[in-house]
Amino acid sequence: MNVTNICCIGAGYVGGPTMAVIALKCPQIKVTVVDVNQQRIDAWNSADLDQLPIYEPGLKEVVEEARGRNLFFSTNVDKAIDEAQMIFMAVNTPTKSYGEGKGFAADLTFVEKCARQIAEVSNTDKIVIEKSTLPVRTAEKIKEVLSSNTKGVNFEVLSNPEFLAEGTAIQDLFKSDRVLVGGDNTESGNAAVAALVSIYSNWIPQEKILTTNVWSSELSKLASNAMLAQRISSINSLSALCEETGADIEEVSKAIGMDSRIGSKFLKASVGFGGSCFQKDILNLVYLCRHYGLDEVAEYWYQVIKINNYQKNRFAKKIITGLNGTVNQKKVTLLGWAFKKDTNDSRESAAIYVADILLEEGAELHIYDPMVKATRIHQDLTTLWEARNESKDEIAYKLKRCIVHQNHTTALDSSFAAAIVTEWDEFKSYDWNTIADNMMQPAKVFDGRNIVKDTEEYKFKLKKVGSSNVKNSSNERKEKAI
């Protein structure tokens, strides 16, 4: 099949950037991204490219070149489905908050609605592609829904999981480590796989395009995220031991990473991982293992989540302990809210949970993030508290003590402590001694990303993850010497 028209249902963090790059690299193909969220589509169509709903380095340049040429954003979902030969499903698959599998299994409500709409609207044969991260054998359920079409339409379902890292998504799309395409080993299934492979072949070397069966493709995505998260939790668990023994986690990480069998990636100790994928996918993996009676395997992977929660709680408690055991009525500043640098995505960010603990302890919380807006920050906290059935009055009271700033200076002025929770590059360039002069004394910095350089001429106490020493200011060292 020579594909000339693609539809993507879902204009979020996966659908938007992925389709923008496909449109850029395949100018001969019309690509339409659809979403029922009018506000989101309006943002994608905004003349001001700084208003795109997603921040990713390089994204606005891609959109600027392709939009209006062969890249389009629309809320007319039915029209886009009807006209397309290939349909990507990039809808949300959150963790279930109700019923069987609550708190672990993936909620496939949006996937099923998406498949049902495709079945109802389609008048010609379609290749339907799972782009969202889904449990193994979801394709079976999608095929069952699509079979409700009574117009004689043939659907081929492929799995094509995304392996994007937010903050580097555009570069990941340009130079992918691998592109995975799973399909049925039938004549029509192989033809569908070949059609998708031919699209990626416009810019991805053939040796980096891997074809498998559908089930292997679906599981590979969950397994990849689980393995990456496992490395983070492993090094974070060792950071706790370093703090007790006098070892330094950065030195330990370097020593471990120099082993060619292990490698150095994802061995950076921190306040903990966040984002929409790692926790959700591991919980999904845990649920699948339990479903198949693999309880020991389930418990193994669940430990990754437990260590991550432990690390976030431990970091918050370090702040409280460092401020003489109480943060009540004290101004504490969080630097960063996004779950990692170079993105405005704050889903499951460690900052949410650190903030929650500090607010619960009575802190006056001041927050600065260069890309995440105040409405998003307040919504993240509100969502967490509503899930715990906290009253509207309780939520309103806490939000009054959660102040979001447009710059770091006002956020830090007269603060008892600064806590770095996102590794934004701009935080590295701050004149920390000048900042410390304007903080409550003794000024304290809790570096949850280990990005502040050690120096002998600082005017604040520095506490890094995985380091046993709370650095003393130069004034304190002079006093001790006397």
Verify whether residue 221 is a known catalytic residue: yes
The separation between CA 106 and the C-alpha centre of its own chain, rounded to angstroms, equals: 16
Beta-carbon contacts of 280 under 8 Å, excluding residues fewer than 6 positions away, are 93, 94, 95, 106, 133, 348
Verify whether residue 56 is a known catalytic residue: no
Q: Among residues 56, 162, 243, 423, which one is catalytic?
A: 162
Nearest to 46 by CA among 24, 30, 68, 27: 68
Nearest to 84 by CA among 134, 34, 130: 34
Q: Among residues 7, 277, 289, 402, which one is catalytic?
A: 277
| Alpha carbons 110 and 108: distance in angstroms, whole number | 6
Verify whether residue 126 is a known catalytic residue: no
The separation between CA 111 and the C-alpha centre of its own chain, rounded to angstroms, equals: 20
Burial of 100 (0-12, 13-18, 19+ CB in 10 A): exposed
Q: Among residues 96, 221, 459, 461, which one is catalytic?
A: 221
| Catalytic residue numbers, as ranges | 162, 221, 277
